[in-house]
Structure 1
């Protein structure tokens, strides 16, 4: 038998999945690591911990597969979280941890770029909205607030590039990851001169841009031995997790939107060429040079649900653990007892600032409409609805750029919840299809790998691997309620935006809480 391994380098864990060539899952392994929040707005990871998690997950999945004589792993291909940044000195020693997409310390520099007009110029060429998430803003923060690191830095990589450097001594970045840096011209497919001049970088400090189908062979032998695969096993760069999410649920036809909600979330549509939003609300990232993903990411997805569980339902969380049931399932059951609209309680889920649609790192969460008759059950229902309302706001902006959405494909951890899937259909007033594809990001990575190795001629062939799907239709009783509440949610987000900066500055000055997320 011949197999492919898809690796999903995520924000909180790395997963390796072994597939046969028809897309069936044979074995998987998942290894987590902490997200460090040692100061306000920080969100960093240890690159060594992530590298070790990768090696462990690959070792585990190969062991679980129990490969027999004649079986072979034809290749290992990658999906990766986007927007990360690591600085290295001239000897390739890390000067920083991994500064992740969730890190908001560059907010001041992102706001400056927006105000002076430079940001819109750069966005129009790079397709990456001006926001602290982007390495462009992170580099300005390093330059101005960590000059000792900035002056020593000879190289900059993201987390996937660091892993390839460790395994192969390579210095490359696929164009999908590059298109999310804010430094890459998506029309010329090269590093953008204006962005480089702004950050003070030279091209030789950045990796060589390559196709997602780029292959490395000949890894460091000690790692191959530990993993249990030949040294010459091909490793394929693959692409960013956002673009691959669309591919993984077969949402690559015009007008077919993929909604993903995991730790964070996004809604995306594939086009055949880059499309820029004149208002700067949506991103345009490469899947490959012939497929471009236009959409908007949100910071606040499943992590907000976790916050609600940990802070509002601690007793239920403990009870669920004793009973051996999933605490999130228990909370969605509680939320399902409350009618659509949570009896007029709205929740803006901006616990981690926000990217699309408001692109405001100072944004903060809030309940609105709270009365004596509202209970914790109303609050958890409002939390779940608030996450979907926010995604719907992004969808409205996206339609201005790419046209009407024809259908929605849902994926991510939230898609396991029947309540959330129905909410999505009701708020969007669209049919929502949940493909049966398991481990869709890793599956999509292996399809990129198969094309790179000449095992398939086009990535659209993933359609035959996704499997059956379940469709949810909007409930008229519910969407009538949401029609009334959606405009209030949208107007309120704009009105509160006038005070987000003030409350965020107060918190930065007076609140000093150290958090490490396991």
Structure 2
């Protein structure tokens, strides 16, 4: 048996085949880049139709290479927080709004939840432009006639491929509208967003599996009988892919963005653990929660700096960075070029540099930016550790830290004296989704 894992990311869509233990098979990877449309207004959108076409291309490539033979399960890791308005036929009424978009604002006169602290504890989120409680009214105001309902990226693409595509509790938690204990839409969140249940996707029950539509079953006969698991939010999947599915181990992942997260077992209906006011909480699945902090700067910052400063490549860059001690450089940076993730409200363009001199080199600026990301994560990891017993072991993962050894050393310095190790697997999200879908992750007792 093998597993097809799809990673529905922000900068790319990927398909890879793994064995029955969720280990990636050599050479069984197809990737298509996708372009986020950004502008000075704070827009950051994707063309949903083009994204679907890229996903289909990936599966076509694997099929043509014979890599789908023997696949008995399909798993998906998918970006959280996206939203797209649909008409009655399920066609997009505009571009898909990603987590990077900073434009949504509350309607005039809107006041948000009556008790913000209680709302934060129930949903793990805030009344913030990042979440559907603000995004959906803003999208509705700009849609005009013809709006029928809303969905996220995974529901849109899977809705085209499968006979049905309900929203997983993991994806629903990323909307900021799910009651994390009851595993149902939060009534106050619905009211704040000005929507009814009919405007939202139905929620997938525990153990749900989908099947390909007949036309795609004919296109990919190797997948005709394979069940498709409900999608896992990319951050939660990355934690599992790095082996961080217990509260004693924190994951720091740097893909397009960066995040630090802890997973805890919490069964449906069980009381939720305390939640500090500065961090969010989502669902991994019906049995686990994930608590953490995320940042708009990560691999995208790496890519921007490399292009903007025309940095040396490969070994040449490593040699220049070797002369800089992590955390001790002259350049200090606020890396929030893309603004804040919640609960912060800083807009896009909030990045800053200081400590510059005429002798400052582009590599020193680059190191300062990477140190800035490490400092934010160290601060928030301390907050997360206040909710568990003692300090945590830290596991670094994600494509950006895999590509840059100096950044790994900078994280080790910033997070000391904790034990920090690196998982050299750039596909931790897809791996984690496959582990969850195949039932290969142990479930401990529910948190009390």
Contact 1:213 1:238 in 2 (8 A): no
Hey, what does 2:337 align to over in structure 1? 351
* Alpha carbons of structure 1 residues 265 and 129: separation in structure 2 relative to 1, 3 Å: farther
* Alpha carbons of structure 1 residues 349 and 112: separation in structure 2 relative to 1, 3 Å: farther
Gaps in structure 2 of 5+ consecutive residues: 267-271, 444-448
Structure-2 separation of matches of 1:110 and 1:189: 30
1:276-295 superposed matches below 5 A: 276-279=274-277, 281-295=278-292
Q: By how many angstroms is 1:201 displaced?
A: 0.5
Which stretch has the larger CA shift, 57-66 or 264-273?
57-66
Q: What is the alpha-carbon root mean square deviation over aligned residues?
A: 2.5
Hey, what does 2:380 align to over in structure 1? 394
Deviations 1:416-450 (A, max 9, x none): 22211111111110221123446221122222222
Contact 1:131 1:355 in 2 (8 A): no
Q: By how many angstroms is 1:65 displaced?
A: 4.2
Structure-2 separation of matches of 1:290 and 1:87: 30
How many residues are treated as equivalent by the alignment?
434
Q: By how many angstroms is 1:171 displaced?
A: 4.4
Hey, what does 1:443 align to over in structure 2? 431
Contact 1:276 1:284 in 2 (8 A): no
Deviations 1:307-328 (A, max 9, x none): 21111126x4xxxxxxxxxx36
Q: Is the aligned partner of 1:248 residue 2:236? A: no
Contact 2:85 2:139 in 1 (8 A): no
Using structure 1 for the length normalisation, give the TM-score: 0.78
Hey, what does 2:446 align to over in structure 1? none
Q: Which residue of the other structure, out of 100, 103, 112, is the alignment partner of 1:102?
A: 100
Structure-2 separation of matches of 1:262 and 1:202: 34
Q: Is the aligned partner of 1:138 residue 2:135? A: yes
- Secondary structure of the equivalent of 2:357? coil
Structure-1 separation of matches of 2:248 and 2:126: 22
Contact 2:14 2:58 in 1 (8 A): yes
Contact 1:245 1:440 in 2 (8 A): yes
* Alpha carbons of structure 1 residues 86 and 13: separation in structure 2 relative to 1, 3 Å: same
Structure-2 separation of matches of 1:267 and 1:407: 12
* Alpha carbons of structure 1 residues 394 and 22: separation in structure 2 relative to 1, 3 Å: same
Q: Is the aligned partner of 1:91 residue 2:89? A: yes
1:233-382 superposed matches below 5 A: 233-273=226-266, 274-279=272-277, 281-313=278-310, 316=312, 327=313, 330-355=316-341, 358-361=344-347, 364-382=350-368
Deviations 1:296-343 (A, max 9, x none): 1111111112121111126x4xxxxxxxxxx36643442222233354
Q: By how many angstroms is 1:285 displaced?
A: 1.0
Q: By how many angstroms is 1:286 displaced?
A: 0.9
Hey, what does 1:177 align to over in structure 2? 171
Q: By how many angstroms is 1:373 displaced?
A: 3.9
1:390-469 superposed matches below 5 A: 390-416=376-402, 417-429=404-416, 430-437=418-425, 439-451=427-439, 458-460=440-442
Q: By how many angstroms is 1:89 displaced?
A: 1.6
Structure-2 separation of matches of 1:92 and 1:202: 17
Hey, what does 1:61 align to over in structure 2? 62
1:140-159 superposed matches below 5 A: 140-143=137-140, 145-146=141-142, 148-149=143-144, 152-159=146-153
Q: By how many angstroms is 1:266 displaced?
A: 0.5
Using structure 2 for the length normalisation, give the TM-score: 0.89
Hey, what does 1:323 align to over in structure 2? none
Contact 1:176 1:212 in 2 (8 A): no
Whichever of the two has the greater Rg, that structure is 1
Structure-2 separation of matches of 1:432 and 1:110: 47
Structure-2 separation of matches of 1:261 and 1:236: 25
Structure-2 separation of matches of 1:271 and 1:346: 35
* Alpha carbons of structure 1 residues 283 and 113: separation in structure 2 relative to 1, 3 Å: farther
Structure-1 separation of matches of 2:206 and 2:171: 9
Q: Which residue of the other structure, out of 67, 70, 73, is the alignment partner of 2:71?
A: 73
Deviations 1:352-385 (A, max 9, x none): 0011674534660001222344332321111111
- Secondary structure of the equivalent of 1:182? coil
Contact 2:335 2:373 in 1 (8 A): yes
- Secondary structure of the equivalent of 1:257? strand
Gaps in structure 1 of 5+ consecutive residues: 317-326, 452-457, 462-518
* Alpha carbons of structure 1 residues 352 and 267: separation in structure 2 relative to 1, 3 Å: same
Q: By how many angstroms is 1:233 displaced?
A: 2.2
Structure-2 separation of matches of 1:405 and 1:385: 21
Contact 1:338 1:377 in 2 (8 A): no
Structure-2 separation of matches of 1:29 and 1:294: 31
- Secondary structure of the equivalent of 1:196? helix
